[in-house]
Chain A
C-alpha cells in the first residue's frame, strides 16, 4: 500500500453540486494532515489543515477518520473557480498524494 493515495479523477461536477474526495494514508502514526489546492501550472497552496475533530472553512469541510486511516474534503455549492487539483499531505515527512482533479462545469 502506498503511503498516501488519492483517486486521480477527474471529478466532473456541475456548478452548485457537492463533491467529496478521500485520501488514504498508510502510516497509523501520522498526526497531522493537510489539503492543498493546485491550479494548472501553478504551485500548491494550502487550502486547510485537517483537525481531529473536523473543521470547516466556508464551503469546505475537512474530516479525519483515524480508524480507517483517511481524510476527506467536502466542497459544497461548487464554483467554477474550484476547478483545480486537490492534494492531500500527511506527516511525518509531509508526504503528498498525487492529487485529485476537480472540474466544475457551468
Chain B
C-alpha cells in the first residue's frame, strides 16, 4: 500500500478551538487532497494541492485552510471549529492532476473529528 498516514486518527474538540489535521506521504506524489465524508453527502473535496505552496479550493472550502510547505506534508486547519465540521476527514494522494484521466487516488485511513 502507498505510504500515507493521517494524524490524529480521532479527535474531540470544542466549538471555537483551532484544529489541525496532518497528512503525511512517503510516495513523493505531487498532488494531495483533503476530503470530508458525511452521511447523505458522500465525499466532498475541501482543498487540494498541486505542489509545494500551491493549493486551491474545492467544493466545501469555507472554514478551512491548508498549507503545504513540504512535498510530503499537507495540513488542514480549522481556524475555529464548529459543530457542522464534525466529520470524517480523508487525505488522498495522486500522481496526476485532478482533471487527469489517470488521476487515481490513494486515501489515508481517515481522521474522525467531533466538535462539541
Listed in ascending order, the chain A residues whose CB lies under 8 Å from chain B are 31-32, 34, 42-46, 49, 87, 89, 91-99
- Does the CB pair B104–A44 fall under 8 Å? no
Q: Is the CB of B42 within 8 A of A94?
A: no
Interface of B is mostly: loop
> For chain A, what secondary structure do more than half of its interface residues adopt (helix, strand, loop), or is it mixed?
loop
Instruction: Please report the total number of B residues contacting A with Cβ < 8 Å.
Output: 24
Q: Are B102 and A44 in touch, CB under 8 angstroms?
A: no
Q: How far is the CB of B6 from chain A (nearest CB, A)?
A: 9
- Are A32 and B43 in contact (CB-based, < 8 A)? no
A32-B101, A32-B103, A98-B40 given as contacts; is B45 within 8 A of A93 (CB)?
Answer: yes
Given contacts A94-B45, A96-B42, contact A42 B105 (CB under 8 A): no
